[in-house]
Chains A and B, each alone.
Chain A
């Protein structure tokens, strides 16, 4: 257990559905991240939030919509996804005090299948 909890662990959704992924941490971290992990590809950074403000959107399609209501919670809202969006979605958090030396803690991921 890393202290970063993701729900649900598995999700199957149709291309016309709307669903949300949730990430929660009570580690006192102020930065939170969404990553996409597809088979045979490196981890792709999707979004970065620092003190609830989005600081990076890595050219992610608008069918993925992040929300960070507070420093402990991060959501990824999904709508009209494509089959190629099927992947493991990982949330991470860390303390960002201006130094790059703190490690990120990862959740166990949500395995998303789009049918």
Chain B
């Protein structure tokens, strides 16, 4: 069965410091991995994805994520956090053997960036 785990309910970081939001996954076949961000009372906004190729993926707003197959992880990172990055972040996975395109989400991690 496909699953995604985001082990931290909340991550706190000071503005200007690097941030990491963790994600591990379990999937049949090769994984397609995604990060989304959600601001209050809004839908989910796509940040970046890993399909194949380079393990380091760059996305919107200066975010990047590193795919690690041996650790089945896809952690989201940013070198220097902004207060405006404060939001709810979701990791999601779709397996290559899924015939419905089902996207499975983690429970979300709240990122709090303090000035």
A108 adjacent to chain B (CB < 8 Å)? yes
A80 to B75, CA, bound (A): 42
Interface string of B84-108 (1 = CB under 8 A from A): 0000001000111011111111111
Q: Which of B42-71 contact A (CB under 8 A)?
A: 42-46, 49, 51-52
Interface centre among B95, B96, B98, B103 (most CB of A within 10 A): B103
Interface-central residue, A31, A42, A48, A90, by most chain B CB under 10 Å: A42
Contact call A55/B100, Cβ cutoff below 8 A:
yes
A94 contacts the other chain (CB 8 A): yes
List of A residues within 8 angstroms of B46 by Cβ: 2, 103-105
A2 and B101 contacting across the interface, CB-CB below 8 Å = no
In the bound assembly, the distance between CA atoms of A92 and B45 in angstroms comes to 11
Given the contacts A48-B102, A103-B34, A42 and B107 also touching, CB distance less than 8 Å: yes
Is B100 touching A50 in the complex (CB atoms < 8 A)? Answer: yes
Q: Identify which of A33, A56, A100, A106 contacts B95 (C-beta below 8 A).
A: A100
Q: For window 92-107 of chain A, which residues contact chain B by CB distance below 8 Å?
A: 92, 94, 96, 100-101, 103-107
Q: Is A68 at the interface (CB under 8 A from chain B)?
A: no
Would you call A96 and B101 a contact (CB within 8 A)? yes
A94 partner residues in chain B, CB cutoff 8 A: 101
Give the A-B pair count, Cβ closer than 8 A: 61
Are A100 and B45 in touch, CB under 8 angstroms? no
User: Are A45 and B32 in contact (CB-based, < 8 A)?
Assistant: no
Contacting pair A108 B108 (CB below 8 A): no
Q: Which residues of A contact B (CB under 8 A)?
A: 2, 4, 6, 31, 33, 41-43, 45, 48, 50, 55-56, 90, 92, 94, 96, 100-101, 103-109, 111
**Closest CB pairs A-B (n = 5):** A106-B43, A101-B51, A106-B44, A43-B105, A100-B94
Residues of chain B whose beta carbon lies under 8 Å from any beta carbon of chain A: 32, 34, 36, 41-46, 49, 51-52, 90, 94-96, 98-108
| A-B CB contact pairs (8 Å), 10 listed | A41-B107, A43-B90, A45-B103, A55-B100, A90-B44, A101-B32, A104-B34, A104-B103, A106-B36, A109-B43
